[in-house]
Structure 1
Amino acid sequence: MRSIVAILAFAAILYGSICMVQLTIPFLQFKPTVDFLNSKRLIYHLDWWRYSFYIHVFSSPLVIVTGLLQFNRFSIHRKPKFHRITGMMYIGTLVFIAAPSGFLMGLYANGSYPTQISFTLLSLLWIFTTVMAYRKVKQRKYVSHGRWMIRSYALTLSAISLRFFTFLIGYFNIPLYPAEAYIVVSYSSWMVNLLLAEWLIYLNYPERLMKK
């Protein structure tokens, strides 16, 4: 049963990852009228924000995919070199590229202060959990490393969760003004993920993953 749930979760995340990659394709036009950028016309002219946006959008799919590859028992035990390389790609891209650019974007997030606080806090927690995962693996504390990686990847998946919760609000016609809805999804997208991460940790998921 647990194996089936793990396979379904992997498939769902993989599908979400593919969708995220597809969402980035229109931004290759580098025009201010594309999708989300329509709401950013007042700040699109700011070079630092515009560069941060494109850096974040194009680096995040790499973080999602390389992060997903870390939770595979076969690569951990049979392909440790592959596990290390993709792990370093995940950590390096996240800590030095995706999260800092996300933090800068968060300073001008739609919805004013409530959402700006949410997204900047998310970026800081994203970096913190990932750095902790790196520290633990360097100390050869592999179970603790696994726990912090789960937390880190839970925050990585907030990009997918945000869109999923936005869809749910629209599908169930929840009576919220657009600004209120965006505040709700901006917090729930990463808070719910962290709660699920702690639940997995409570179930000793990292320990089971690392057992041969």
Structure 2
Amino acid sequence: MILKNYKQTLWLIVFVWFFVLMLLITLKYFPISSNVAFLQIKQTEVIEIKSYLFIFYIHVCSSIFTLLAGFTQFNPNILKQFPSVHKWIGKLYVFVTLVLASPSGFFIGIFANGGFYSKISFVILSILWFYFTLKGFILIKRNNIKCHKAFMMRSFALTFSAVTLRLWKVIIVSLFHPAPMDVYQIIAWLGWVPNLLFIEYCIFKQKYK
């Protein structure tokens, strides 16, 4: 019991730390500007594609919400003591992911830095994110709680790629100093594939407990 509480506390501290970092990154884009932070290297898209800036901001704002909402959904205390909170935040998570975050991520992915390999990675990420979230929603409607949980774990693993992508970028740049375009091609895949593999391992372990 003590070990379990220790793990939950440690996870909470780690998550809050990463969430604050992501929130600080997000706040760099406000007040709204077309030439700030990441957008400084996306001026071609901003100028030539009229909808790019609007969709980019949809993605930035919706993604930070899914990151926070996803965490509450896997908190056992909230699930047991406040099931209605879990239910309604879950509905918001599904809506924001399916209607805003995933489609906008798909659009931005088409114009990702790093060429074809980066673009295909972000497009696949967006499609899988959409599919896992939708599947999880359908399964809970059918009262299949176990499978619902598994698919929502997969969904949040991809949500968390917003964090892991940036972590891998810092690590790779610090250790290997690759060319900028090489960095994008590498982190485009490292940002989410290891997350998904780890979650599949966790699901597999739970299945045979």
With normalisation by structure 2, the TM-score equals 0.93
Query: Matches of residues 47-66 of structure 1 in structure 2 within 5 Å?
Result: 47-66=50-69
Query: Matches of residues 1-212 of structure 1 in structure 2 within 5 Å?
Result: 1-45=3-47, 46-171=49-174, 173-204=175-206
Aligned equivalents of 1:10, 1:183: Cα separation in 2: 31
Aligned equivalents of 1:7, 1:151: Cα separation in 2: 22
Aligned equivalents of 1:82, 1:133: Cα separation in 2: 17
1:148-199 C-alpha deviation (Å, 9 max, x unpaired): 111000000001000000111123x215222112111110110000011112
Amino acid in the other structure paired with 1:121 = I
1:77-132 C-alpha deviation (Å, 9 max, x unpaired): 22111000110111100110011011111110011111110111100000000011
Amino acid in the other structure paired with 2:115 = S
The structure with higher relative contact order (CA 8 Å, sep 6+) is 1
Unaligned runs of 5+ in 1: none
Amino acid in the other structure paired with 1:34 = V
Q: Secondary structure at the match of 1:110?
A: coil
Unaligned runs of 5+ in 2: none
Q: Secondary structure at the match of 1:111?
A: coil
What percentage of residue pairs aligned between the two structures are identical?
29
Aligned equivalents of 2:134, 2:100: Cα separation in 1: 14
Query: Structure 1 stretches (4+) deviating beyond 4 angstroms?
Result: none
Q: Greater shift after overlay, 93-102 or 2-11?
A: 2-11
Q: Greater shift after overlay, 153-162 or 75-84?
A: 75-84
Q: Secondary structure at the match of 2:137?
A: helix
Q: Is the 8 A contact 2:34 2:53 kept in 1?
A: no
Q: Secondary structure at the match of 1:43?
A: helix
Deviation at 1:11, TM superposition (A): 2.2
1:49-68 C-alpha deviation (Å, 9 max, x unpaired): 11110100011111100110
